[in-house]
């Protein structure tokens, strides 16, 4: 059985892939420039998710308004690890912060927000373990865009193909197209503040 909280991702020695969904007006110039550019907002938090299926659930397989284009964002692991190290949970947890007031102050000042949501199956059912979302605040977003991103890749057509396979009852074929995600290593001491230790 999977741990209640774990990071599963497509990664190699140097990089990790996270997923985001955008409207075409944001996705197209970003893909052309291979970095996020206006109308992408540098003044608001952007959420990145290493779970492909969680984003499929969130975006309804690229069918929600404003989430039609699915991007795979390949980041340097050094940037991802930095985000995790700065992260503060979006809800107080006694195992992490005994005093709600201390959590509230940490959360107010946090450059990175960490949220755990039930992981999803291929058909969108909630599973019994949690998937991480990482919110990069406006205070760190330039570093995210300018220093961490290695590649932006458009997965929209692949997502549409998987969606059609599922609709036609061919879940096994859709499953074969999923990114290969495995448990991402986080040192227990470093991960304790994220419920990973």
User: Each residue of 9-34: pLDDT tens digit?
Assistant: 999 999 999 999 999 999 999 999 99
- When pLDDT is averaged across residues 153-167 and rounded to a whole number, the result is 98
Give residue 99's pLDDT: 81
In a domain, 58, yes or no: yes
Number of domains in the chain: 1
Average pLDDT, the chain: 94
pTM, 2 dp? 0.94
User: What is the model's pLDDT at position 1?
Assistant: 47
* Structural domain boundaries, residue 85: 8-191
On the question of pLDDT at 36 being above 50, the answer is yes
Q: Is residue 3 part of a domain?
A: no
Residue 157 lies in a domain: yes
Q: Taking a C-beta distance cutoff of 8 angstroms, is the pair 61, 159 a contact?
A: yes
Is residue 1, in this structure, part of any structural domain at all? no
Q: Of the ranges 52-56, 97-101, 126-130, 160-164, which one carries the lowest mean pLDDT score?
A: 97-101
197 domain-assigned: no
pLDDT at 2: 58
């Amino acid at each position: 059985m999977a741990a209640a909280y774990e990071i599963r991702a497509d990664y190699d020695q140097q990089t990790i892939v996270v997923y985001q969904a955008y409207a075409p007006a944001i996705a197209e110039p970003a893909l052309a420039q291979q970095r996020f550019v206006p109308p992408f907002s540098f003044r608001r938090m952007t959420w990145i998710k290493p779970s492909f299926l969680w984003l499929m659930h969130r975006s309804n397989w690229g069918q929600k308004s404003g989430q039609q284009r699915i991007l795979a964002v390949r980041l340097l692991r050094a940037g991802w690890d930095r985000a995790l190290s700065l992260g503060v949970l979006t809800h107080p947890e006694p195992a992490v912060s005994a005093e709600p007031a201390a959590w509230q102050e940490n959360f107010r000042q946090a450059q990175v927000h960490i949220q755990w949501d039930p992981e999803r199956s291929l058909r969108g059912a909630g599973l019994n373990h949690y998937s991480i979302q990482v919110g990069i605040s406006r205070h760190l977003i330039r570093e995210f865009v300018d220093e961490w991103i290695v590649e932006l890749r458009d997965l929209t057509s692949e997502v549409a193909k998987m969606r059609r396979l599922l609709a036609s009852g061919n879940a096994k074929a859709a499953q074969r197209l999923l990114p290969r995600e495995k448990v991402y290593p986080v040192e227990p001491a470093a991960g304790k503040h994220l419920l990973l230790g």
